[in-house]
Chains A and B, each alone.
Chain A
Amino acid sequence: EDQVTQSPEALRLQEGESSSLNCSYTVSGLRGLFWYRQDPGKGPEFLFTLYSAGEEKEKERLKATLTKKESFLHITAPKPEDSATYLCAVRRGTSGSARQLTFGSGTQLTVLP
């Protein structure tokens, strides 16, 4: 059974204080690790997909990295508008239900001005 564990559950940062969010996963044949951002009252918004260990992707103040067991979302010099819940999800590479995403419980990030 696929498992995705995110830590910490909640994180409070001062504006400009860089940090990292962790996503540990167990999946049969990873076919993509996805990061989403979710604002209150809205649906998850896609950020990144990572496919293989060693891969990195960046978008503004965010950088996602991937190893064989975990992914990190690094936030550099965050701003209050980065406050949101960040969700990690995996897709397995086997046949059958290969399209579904298994989500972690998320990290709720608050950036204080």
Chain B
Amino acid sequence: DAGVIQSPRHEVTEMGQEVTLRCKPISGHDYLFWYRQTMMRGLELLIYFNNNVPIDDSGMPEDRFSAKMPNASFSTLKIQPSEPRDSAVYFCASSKGQADTEAFFGQGTRLTVV
């Protein structure tokens, strides 16, 4: 398996523009997580899905952020409108089955909002 695949790897956009980040989880994994990593706050969970259904979105910073998972092999995280403080590395991770199993992370998308 190729692992969790994220695109794009880097994104530079202007303030106010819409940004869409994409993720393909590992085949067969039924949990998908979106994390954000910054120097100040480290890794923070934004939202996670189980069987394509959002379970906990309490980490989503505000209404400008939205996430979807239309099928088991694809998820998006959208920011509209984007702001400079959204600049961070966004990671997608997936895991399988039981609660104790580890999550596997993608390579991340480095977002810069200017």
> A residues engaging B (CB < 8 A)?
31-32, 34, 36, 41-46, 49, 51, 87, 89, 91, 93, 96-106
Count class of interface residues, chain B: 20 to 34
For the complex, give the distance between the alpha carbons of A93 and B98 in Å.
12
Q: B102 touching A49 by the CB < 8 A rule?
A: yes
Nearest-Cβ distance from residue A85 to partner chain B, whole angstroms: 10
Question: Could you name 20 residue pairs across A and B whose Cβ atoms are closer than 8 Å?
Answer: A32-B99, A32-B100, A34-B102, A41-B107, A41-B108, A42-B107, A43-B108, A44-B43, A46-B103, A49-B100, A49-B101, A49-B102, A91-B100, A97-B56, A97-B58, A99-B50, A99-B99, A103-B42, A103-B44, A104-B42
Q: Which 8 A-B pairs have the closest CB atoms?
A: A43-B105, A103-B43, A97-B56, A46-B102, A105-B42, A100-B45, A44-B105, A32-B100
> B residues engaging A (CB < 8 A)?
4, 31, 33, 42-45, 48, 50, 55-56, 58, 91, 93, 95, 99-108
